[in-house]
Structure 1
Amino acid sequence: MPPRPLLFFSHANGFPAGTYRKLFAQLEPHYRVAAPDCYGHDPLFPVTDGWRHLVRQAAHELALVRQGDEPVILVGHSLGGFLSLMLAASEPAAVRAVVMLDSPVLHGWKAGVIRAAKRVGLAARVPPASVAWRRRDRFASPDDALTHFASKPVFARWDADVLRDYVGCGVCRREDGAGLRFARDVEARIYQTLPHDLGRVASRLRQRVPGLPVGFIRGTRSQEVRQVGLAATRRLVGEHMRQIEGGHLFPMERPAQTAGELLGLLAAMGVAPSLPRAA
C-alpha cells in the first residue's frame, strides 16, 4: 500500500488544532494529517502586521513533520486558509495543492479599507478584533466553560463532540479555576494585523505556479464571505469551489460532511483517489 500523502492543516484564529479532532479522524485513513497546535503564542513567531512570522511558524512546523522532500497538501480554516495560501506562495515547490476553508481573498477597495484602518489605529475598535478583546476567558472550571459556550448561539450549532474537544484542548485549569488557552489579546492582534495584500499574494502564486490546484469551500451562511465577496477567490480557484450548509465555522458544525466535501474536492483536483462527495 502506498504511503498516505501529507496533509498539513492550519487552524482558525482562537481554536487550537485539537478542536478539529473529529474532522482529522475522517481524513486520517487517506492522509497523514499534521497540524500546528496553536499559532501566535510562540515568542519566536510573534504576531505582527501581515502575519509574516506566523507564516514562518507554519513553515517551521511543516519542516518538522515533512519526510525528506515529500510534497504536501496545505489545508486551512479561516486564518489557517490564509496562512496556507501565503505559505504556498513562499514555498511553492513543496506544495501539491491548497484548500482554503472559508478564507475568502480580500482585494480591491476593501483591502484598502483594512490598510487604512490599521494605519490610523482603528483596527482594534471594529469586529472581530473588538469582540475578541472582550471575550470571556475565565471560568470556574472546564465544565463551567462547556456550559457557557453551549449557551451561546454560535457554539450551540456545533457538533457536540467538537464542542467538547474545543473545551478539552482550549480551556486549561488554573489556580483560580480555568481559562482559555488561546489568549484573547493574541486572537485580537491576529485580527488587527490581517494582511491587506492577499490579492497580490494570490496573483503571485498563480504567476509562479500556474498549474497548482487551489480549492475553496465556503459556508452557505458565512458572514465573512458576504463581507469580503468571492471575486478574487473565484479567480484564484476557478472550478474548484464548493459549499457546505453552515456559517463561517462549518467545520465545527458539520465535521463529517466537511471531511467528505474536502476529500471529494481533493479528488477533483487530482491529488487524491476518487471518492464520493458527501450528501
Structure 2
Amino acid sequence: MNEPRRLTVDLPARGGAMAVLEWGDPGRPVDLVFAHANGFNALTYRTLLAPLAERFRIQAPDLRGHGATTLPTAIEGRRGWGDHGADLAALLDTIDGPPVVLAGHSMGGTASLLAAATRPQRVRGLVLADPVVMTRPAVLAFHLPLLRDLPRRSPLVVNALKRRSRFDSRAAALAAYRGRGAFKGWPDAVLEDYLTDGLVPDPDGGLMLACTPQWEASNYASQGHDPWRAMRRLTCPTHILKAEAGLACHVPEPPRGLPHVTVETVPGSTHFLPMLQPEVVRGALAAMLEVPDAA
C-alpha cells in the first residue's frame, strides 16, 4: 500500500509541533486534510485514505496527545475541544494553495467543524464520519455551571481510565485487541496500522499507548465546545455520514436551519464505519473533492 511521507509541522503559537502523514503528488496543492478519532492516530486511516492518493494530495495529522505530535496536553481546567480545533486551524494556516476539503472521524470530525468555523476561507467543504455532536439541549446544558462536569461521569471516561496502557510487545497488543471491544470486526491491516503509531517505547521497558488513558478520558469529559454554533457559522457544503448503530451524532436528517448540511445514515454502520466500511467514506470524500471550488 502507498506509504505516506512523514512530516513535522512546527506550530510555535500552539506550543509544539504536529506530526502529519502525507500521500499523493507533493507538487500539487493539498486537497484534503483528515483528522482522526479520539485515542487513535493518522496512520489508522491509511487503508481509507491511501487509494485516494492517485488523484489527490492528502494530509492527515496526529492530533494533540496522539501519535508523534508534541503539542502540550494540559488536562487541568480543560473544558472542550477548542484546542483541537485551534490546532487544525493553525495547520490550515501553513498550507499554501486553494481552500481544502476538511474531514474527520468522530472527535476529528467535530474538531474539523470547529476549525472550519474559524477559517472559512481555507475550507471549501467538509466530510464528517459520525462526528460527536450532542443534542442542542445537551450542548447548552454542558455550559451551565451545575451541569458542565456531567460528562466526566460517563462510562466512556470511566472505561478510558481503566484502559490497559502497557504491553510487552506489538504482538501482545495485537492479541489483546483483535476482535474485542471497539476493535471488533476490524481488519488486521487497520489494527496493525493503529498499533504502529499508537504504541511508543516505555522507559521502563516494553511499549505504552501514545495517547494516554488520562488524555483519552479528558477528551471524552471535555464537552464545553459547541458544534451547532460552528455549523451555523459555516456556508460551505458539509456532508455528515451518520452511523446507523451509534450514539455519537445527533444531527437529524435533514437538519433544520442548516441548508448547507446534508446527513446520510449509512445502513448497517457503527461508529467505526471508516474502519469497517471504508469504501462508503472514501466515496463521500471523493465526491466532495470532485466538487469545483466555488471561490
Shift of 1:165: 0.6
Q: Which residue of 203, 217, 220 corresponds with 2:241? A: 217
1:74-223 to structure 2, matched below 5 A, reads 74-116=102-144, 119=147, 121-174=149-202, 175-205=204-234, 210=235, 212-223=236-247
CA contact (8 A) 1:106 1:196 kept: no
Residues in 1 aligned to 2:193 and 2:147: alpha-carbon distance in whole angstroms: 38
Bigger shift: residues 150-159 or 186-195: 150-159
Cα distance in 1 between the residues matched to 2:116 and 2:251: 22
Q: Select between 195-204 and 134-143 the one with higher mean Cα deviation.
A: 195-204
In structure 2, the CA distance between the partners of 1:8 and 1:46, relative to structure 1 (3 Å rule), is: farther
Aligned mates of 2:186, 2:109 — CA distance in 1? 20
User: What is the SS of the residue equivalent to 1:259?
Assistant: helix
Deviation at 1:266, TM superposition (A): 4.7
Superposed displacement of residue 125, structure 1: 1.8
Q: Percent identity?
A: 31
Post-superposition shift, 1:194? Answer: 1.9
Q: TM-score, normalised by structure 1?
A: 0.82
Distance in 2 separating the partners of 1:234 and 1:52: 25
Q: Which letter maps to 1:254?
A: Q
Q: 1:62-73 counterparts in 2 under 5 A?
A: 62-64=92-94, 66-67=95-96, 69-73=97-101
1:238: how far off?
5.4
Q: Which has the higher strand share?
A: 2
Q: Distance in 2 between matches of 1:23 and 1:224?
A: 21
Structure 2 gaps, min length 5: 1-24
Q: State the one-letter code of the partner of 2:194.
A: Y
Aligned to 1:256: 279
Secondary structure of 2:80's aligned partner: helix
SS at structure 1 position matched to 2:186: coil
C-alpha RMSD of matched pairs (Å): 2.8
Amino acid at match of 1:20: Y
Residues 78/123 of structure 1: CA separation in 2 closer, same or farther (3 Å cut): same
Question: 8 Å contact 2:253–2:263 — kept in the other structure?
Answer: no
Q: 1:26: how far off? A: 1.8
The answer (yes or no) to whether the contact 2:36–2:42 under 8 Å persists in 1 is yes
CA distance in 1, matches of 2:262, 2:205: 48
**Structure 2: distance between partners of 1:187 and 1:237:** 33
Query: What residue in structure 1 maps to residue 89 of structure 2?
Result: 59
Asked if the contact 1:105/1:233 (under 8 Å) is kept, the reply is no
Q: TM-score, normalised by structure 2?
A: 0.78
CA distance in 1, matches of 2:139, 2:214: 23
Question: What stretches of structure 1 of length at least 5 have no aligned partner?
Answer: 273-279
Match of 2:263 in 1: 241
The answer to whether the 8 A contact 1:45-1:53 is kept is no
Q: Is residue 2:252 matched to residue 1:230?
A: yes
Q: Structure 1: how far apart are the matches of 2:272 and 2:42?
A: 14
Tell me the CA shift for residue 70 of structure 1.
2.0
Specify the code of the residue in structure 2 equivalent to 1:135: R
> What is the CA deviation profile of residues 220-244 of structure 1, one whole-angstrom value per residue up to 9, with x for unaligned ones?
222323xx35268565365733343
Q: 1:195, CA displacement in angstroms?
A: 3.2
Q: 1:126: how far off?
A: 0.9
